[in-house]
Amino acid sequence: MDPAAQNDQNRTENGSSDSALLCALDDPDVEADYLLRTRQVVDMSDSLYPKNPAMCSEETRLKSFHNWPLNGELTPQELANAGFYYTGVGDQVACFFCGGKLKNWEAGDRAWSEHKRHFPKCFFILGRDVGNVSSESIPAELAISGLSNAQHPRNPSMAKYGKRLQTFLSWIYPVDKEQLAEAGFYSVGNGDHVVCFHCGGGLQEWKENEDPWDQHAKWFPGCRFVTKEKGIEFINNVHLRDGCRDSTTEAAEGTILPKDISTEEKLRRLQEEKLCKICMARDVSVVFIPCGHLVACKECAQLLNECPLCRRDIMKIQEIFMY
């Protein structure tokens, strides 16, 4: 079976599965069980609200680098664009949203790549609407509606399939160019490096038989183009499969060099991941139905009518146990 035909079959199977569940999920108890079994419960860990709301603006983050000690390839502009602001200590920077900190930068490091490597669950990195204000001008109608760049293409000129396909005229690599274009990618003319027109995510070092949709969903699950075309269930399934094997496609934001994270920092993160994001005192102990978000303790949940993350009405509160 050729890959294109297989994609069509997956799309049909997913659609049939969704339809079959409509009646069953009318029962909140059945739905809670389904969410837990299929791992659609979403653990927000410590990524619910910006750690530093004052740095939501890229322009403000850029201004924090006025005493930046490094003069090289890694610029304050790149760091600010990747969500970082300067802490004023050595070469240490912090993400305005997840609060993750990085220092001891070396030649070849790329801001987006290191951010994704060390803080892969950061909603800013995943392309979610987290209140980031880009330095690029935002059309007035978008500002009025409250929409951000995360909901609109980074490169609108490549929004059409035909335009993307034209960039692959000299493509000589093992992955089918039509599949790449269909999955939202266009070639930048640098080896097999391709970029998504919508989320701006880049991939390279493609191997034979790798599926562009799978790789897109794996590395950039927050891309709204993937969500629109393939659906949340497809993205979830990709990550469930990926938990059992390593991918061979490398995210192409530059060379990835290791940085040490202290044991104390690891322990702090583990402790914070279990905390209720409302009171920050008790452990998370419930899941909201039907959205599946895991963000509150039982006591705080009783005071809520809607999920604080997605604003969907809470139909049921299901107790869970975290180990």
- Together in a domain, 35 and 62: no
Dihedrals φ, ψ of 180, to 5°?
-65, -45
- Together in a domain, 144 and 212: no
Looking at residue 263, what is its pLDDT? 59
What confidence tier does 264 reach under pLDDT thresholds 50, 70, 90? low
∠ Cα 311 314 316 (to 5°): 160
Is 261 part of any domain? no
| CA pair distance 271, 274, nearest whole angstrom | 6
Is 259 part of any domain? no
- Together in a domain, 127 and 75: yes
Residue ending a domain, among 90, 118, 149, is 149
- % of the chain residues with pLDDT over 70: 67
CATH number of the domain at 204, please. 1.10.1170.10
- Together in a domain, 51 and 40: no
Looking at residue 267, what is its pLDDT? 58
Q: Do the Cβ atoms of 102 and 119 come closer than 8 Å?
A: no
- Together in a domain, 51 and 127: yes
Q: Which of 24-38, 45-59, 99-113, 130-144 has the highest mean pLDDT?
A: 99-113
Q: What is the pLDDT of residues 207-245, one digit of tens each?
A: 988 999 999 988 877 788 988 898 877 877 777 676 544
Is 308 part of any domain? yes
Q: What is the pLDDT of residues 159-197, one digit of tens each?
A: 999 999 999 998 999 999 999 999 999 998 888 989 899
Mean pLDDT of the chain: 72
- Together in a domain, 87 and 160: no
Instruction: Fill in the amino acid letter for 31.
Output: E
Query: Region 260-270: what's the mean pLDDT?
Result: 56
Is 235 part of any domain? yes
Q: Which of 3-7, 43-47, 64-68 has the highest mean pLDDT?
A: 64-68
Number of domains in the chain: 3
Is 13 part of any domain? no
Is 257 part of any domain? no
User: Residue 41: which domain range?
Assistant: 20-45+275-323
Looking at residue 265, what is its pLDDT? 57
| CA pair distance 25, 33, nearest whole angstrom | 10
Residue ending a domain, among 106, 129, 149, is 149
Q: Does residue 18 have a pLDDT over 90? A: no
CATH number of the domain at 36, please. 3.30.40.10
Q: Does residue 35 have a pLDDT over 60? A: no
- Together in a domain, 132 and 76: yes
Alpha carbon distances (Å) from 47 to 77, 132, 254, 308: 24, 14, 25, 12
- Together in a domain, 199 and 116: no
- Together in a domain, 62 and 83: yes
Is 187 part of any domain? yes
Q: Does residue 124 have a pLDDT over 60? A: yes
Looking at residue 185, what is its pLDDT? 95
Q: Do the Cβ atoms of 198 and 105 come closer than 8 Å?
A: no
Is 263 part of any domain? no
| CA pair distance 96, 83, nearest whole angstrom | 6
Sign of the torsion formed by the C-alpha atoms of 305, 308, 314 and 319: negative
What confidence tier does 281 reach under pLDDT thresholds 50, 70, 90? confident
Query: Region 134-156: what's the mean pLDDT?
Result: 49
| Cα diameter, the chain | 61
- Together in a domain, 134 and 58: yes
* Residue predicted with more confidence, 154 or 172: 172
- Together in a domain, 203 and 242: yes
Dihedrals φ, ψ of 85, to 5°?
-130, 160
Residue ending a domain, among 90, 116, 149, is 149
Query: Region 257-264: what's the mean pLDDT?
Result: 47
- Together in a domain, 78 and 143: yes
